[in-house]
Amino acid sequence: MSDNKDQVLACIDGSRSTEAVCDYSVWAAQALEAPLTFLHAISNPHAPSKTDLSGNMTLGGREKLLKEMVELEEKRGKLERERGRALLAVLIPPSCCATATSPR
């Protein structure tokens, strides 16, 4: 295809359908002669919660809790990025397909 905007985007998350998504996206990219981009999808920890966890906390307690939450979120994000890189490295070897773009 001559238009650079046309591409195949494969969203993977490590679930049991991930391998099939990879296989079909490689097939589609080759059939369409389009570049292939893999996207590691992760869950959103900031999605609305059904439980009201707000309580009557002191100002110092809120600040401490917020600091702990930020630190945990940073660690979680780092682990998710490492998991995504590992997932892509296992599922998408560099020789897999000439049209695949490298993971970011």
pLDDT in tens, 75-86: 988 998 888 888
Task: Tell me the pLDDT band of 1, cut-offs 50, 70 and 90.
Answer: very low
Entry pTM:
0.54
Nearest to 57 by CA among 70, 66, 47: 66
Over 60: is that where the pLDDT of 24 sits?
yes
Top-confidence range, 67-76, 81-90, 91-100: 67-76
Q: For residues 5 and 53, is the Cβ–Cβ distance under 8 A?
A: no
Q: Which residues, including other chains, have CB under 8 Å from residue 58's CB and lie 6 or more apart?
A: none
Q: For residues 29 and 98, is the Cβ–Cβ distance under 8 A?
A: no
Cα(17)–Cα(34) distance, rounded to whole angstroms?
A: 22
Please, where are the H alpha helices in the chain?
18-32, 59-91
Cα(35)–Cα(25) distance, rounded to whole angstroms?
A: 10
Quick one: pLDDT at residue 4? 52
Q: For residues 36 and 10, is the Cβ–Cβ distance under 8 A?
A: yes
